[in-house]
Structure 1
Amino acid sequence: MGIVPVSLGTKNKYLEVNMHTKNKIAAVVVSALVAGLAGCSTASSPDTASATQQAPSATQAPSANNDPQLAVQYNLDVNKVPAENFDLSKFKLNTPRDDNKPERAGKVMEIYKPMLNDKANPFSDAEWFYTDSITGAMVFASPNKAMTTPNSKNARSELRAMLSDDYSSPKNNFTIASTDNAEAYGAIGGHMSATMSVDWVSTSGDYKKNGAFATVIGQIHGSKNEPLKIMYRKLPEHEYGSIYWNYETNALGDDYSKRRDIRHEVFGQSGLRQGSEDPVTGIKLGEIFSYDVNVEGDIMHLTFTKNPGKPNQEVKTYDIDLAKGEYQGDKYDQGYANDWMYFKAGTYNQCNTGSSGCANNGIEAGDYSKVSFFKFSLDQ
């Protein structure tokens, strides 16, 4: 049996239900109850994580794609939960809820690998991680404020690669070929690929903040910094959003505060502000595109495809030496040799009620992010 936490005012109550999509009655009961609680308000709380922070109760986010042929095209079963349509055997999942497990009291919900991939009763969450009933896509959604991981102010519904059952083991993560004792890690390099759409980003936020109206849809995270964050950002008044990726310089030790993101525009334009022109070379909400991240040896190969498989397909590629350091002349960047890393995918909502000035009035108000994955794989 899965545990679905539901916010009742400021108190956390839990409903024990069968989360398998085939149990239609349970799904309807949960959706109806959550919808009925949507009007309940909670007292305001600080932006830092605490046990009282909950994702606001709301109805399920609307679909951006309503074409049942997508399920046929991508060989997806709308009656199966995500782990039955996709190989998630090397992943755990974080969702924007308070965890109900005794060992994780006061922490963000973490769905361990065995629970996520339980063959008898694989996990889904009717609001934040589920199968789209029309397209069969694997859906991730996240509000603008909820319980977060310890070092972040941003809520997420996101997979994290786990190459070992021992979280603290070097075998749980990968490294690059130049790393000393590279064979001690779970893999040298790795290949993550996704075909997806961004269905929604928050419509509230501070235009001066790049986190407003944005979400991270794929990552490579290191022990401290991130050699890759794939971003989507769309201003509320625009028809098109923009895809770009960041390389975070690996500044360490006394220079840690000097780390910075170096931005690379792919489709559209980054850093847009109120009054900017619509980035018509970008990607609309619900529009399907793909990204491919392949770390071979020391090189990170990135491929982004707009309109995949169509006559107007557009492809952009990048190659980055992760071992070299001093990326684009940054003297504080030590590169990522001798670091350990892991892949992530989903929606890591960059809109929060603190630094990016976003509201948190629920899905009906547009205060959330949502993405759909039609193809997804990790080879490690």
Structure 2
Amino acid sequence: MRKTLKITLSILLMVFISVTATCQEKASSNADNMMKTEKRAKKKKRRKRIRLPNIDLSHWSVTIPELNQKGSALSVQPPEILNYAKDKRLIPYMYNDSIRGTLVFYSFPSAATTANTKYTRCELREQMVPGDNKTNWTFAQGAKMKGDLAMGEVSKDSDGKYHRVIIMQIHGILTDEQRDLIGQKDNNAPPILKIYWQDGKIRVKTKILKNLNATGPDLLHEEAWDDDDGFNFEQEVGFGRFTLEVKVSDGEMVIILNNSEYKVYDGIHMRKWGIFENYFKAGNYFQSRDEGAYARVKYYKLEVSH
């Protein structure tokens, strides 16, 4: 009887140990599976957080607030600009915000200025032929630029007002023949369009002829053109995300904010501007020399077509 009881107890003990071990194995396996699942979920979440801007830089150069060996503002051309995320020259001024998926342009007052200006910039310059500034476009040929952007940060002046920043431009340029015709030393021509971020709103400036009867070579001189009074869009964009679109065609320039507000220029000034070639600019052309001033402009998307 006792022997039988011992055998029964031994069997029960072995069964208990086996069941316990099996349960422990299952629990351990379940814990491992849960940890693996959590790790995969975390990796997936991290991957989702990494966002990159939708901008093709193969047809853009960039000018930054850094001096080159000749003592003027440094410009980086394609294809070098495509490596901006690893280029030590560009990293402080042009970099990705991978959380928001933007390309950030940072600028501040420095000694690195360009011709005919006292202000500095971290700004893209369109190149229809990569690495070449000689091939540009006319209004008659048509062009369109659309940006999806936001003001990141911007300093204030002594009166407590935000510093102005030019976020888009259309710049005129003289052909070599036009330059030689008027005896100018370089190919610079006035900008027909400047779009500002100013106190949370979008302000547009263009050029007007001083003499409406001017024709031919007389139109090519910078002093033939003056600034207009400017135009302010009603919407306040503040530091939020917004879209800007610029469309040009023969004798006409249209600026569109958030697909809802339009400003159209189609008078004699636009028609006579057709004598110039042009190129787009976009980024952060900072409009202050105040000590300690700065701005960051964020571009989500930037597209150009002709």
Unaligned runs of 5+ in 1: 1-68, 178-187, 235-240, 268-280, 306-313, 328-333, 353-357, 362-366
CA RMSD of aligned residues (A): 3.1
SS at match of 1:164: coil
Of 264, 269, 278, the match for 1:341: 278
Matching residue's letter, 1:88: L
TM-score relative to the length of structure 1: 0.56
Would the aligned equivalents of 1:202 and 1:351 in 2 still touch at CA under 8 Å?
no
Would the aligned equivalents of 1:249 and 1:262 in 2 still touch at CA under 8 Å?
no
Q: Distance in 1 between matches of 2:119 and 2:222?
A: 24
Pair 1:173-2:118 in alignment: no
Of 148, 173, 184, the match for 2:113: 148
Matching residue's letter, 2:263: Y
Would the aligned equivalents of 2:209 and 2:225 in 1 still touch at CA under 8 Å?
no
Would the aligned equivalents of 1:249 and 1:335 in 2 still touch at CA under 8 Å?
no
- Where in structure 2 are the equivalents of 1:1-380 lying within 5 Å? 77-78=50-51, 85-100=54-69, 105-118=70-83, 125-165=90-130, 167=132, 169=134, 172-177=135-140, 188-205=141-158, 213-223=163-173, 224-234=189-199, 241-251=200-210, 252=219, 256=223, 259-267=226-234, 282-285=236-239, 287-305=240-258, 315-321=260-266, 324-325=268-269, 335-352=272-289, 358=290, 360-361=291-292, 367-380=293-306
Residue identity (%): 26
Q: Which has the higher contact order (CA 8 A, sep 6+)?
A: 2
Per-residue Cα deviation, 1:181-206 (whole angstroms, up to 9, x for no partner): xxxxxxx1211101110122221257
Would the aligned equivalents of 2:84 and 2:90 in 1 still touch at CA under 8 Å?
no
Unaligned runs of 5+ in 2: 1-44, 174-188, 211-218
Shift of 1:301: 2.0
Would the aligned equivalents of 1:141 and 1:157 in 2 still touch at CA under 8 Å?
yes
Q: Distance in 1 between matches of 2:71 and 2:223?
A: 28
Per-residue Cα deviation, 1:218-249 (whole angstroms, up to 9, x for no partner): 01011322221111112xxxxxx221111122
Task: Flag the structure with higher helix content.
Answer: 2
Per-residue Cα deviation, 1:58-114 (whole angstroms, up to 9, x for no partner): xxxxxxxxxxx9x96xxx954x6x6xx4211111000111124xxxx2111100112
| Aligned residue-pair number | 238
Structure whose alpha-carbon radius of gyration is higher: 2
Would the aligned equivalents of 2:143 and 2:249 in 1 still touch at CA under 8 Å?
yes
Matching residue's letter, 1:260: D
Greater than 3 Å deviation, 4+ residue runs = 118-124, 165-168, 250-255
Would the aligned equivalents of 2:60 and 2:130 in 1 still touch at CA under 8 Å?
no
Q: Distance in 2 between matches of 1:373 and 1:174?
A: 24
TM-score relative to the length of structure 2: 0.69
SS at match of 1:262: coil
SS at match of 1:259: strand
Matching residue's letter, 2:139: I
Change (3 A) 1:144 1:202: farther
Would the aligned equivalents of 1:115 and 1:123 in 2 still touch at CA under 8 Å?
no
Shift of 1:133: 3.3
SS at match of 2:282: strand
SS at match of 1:220: strand
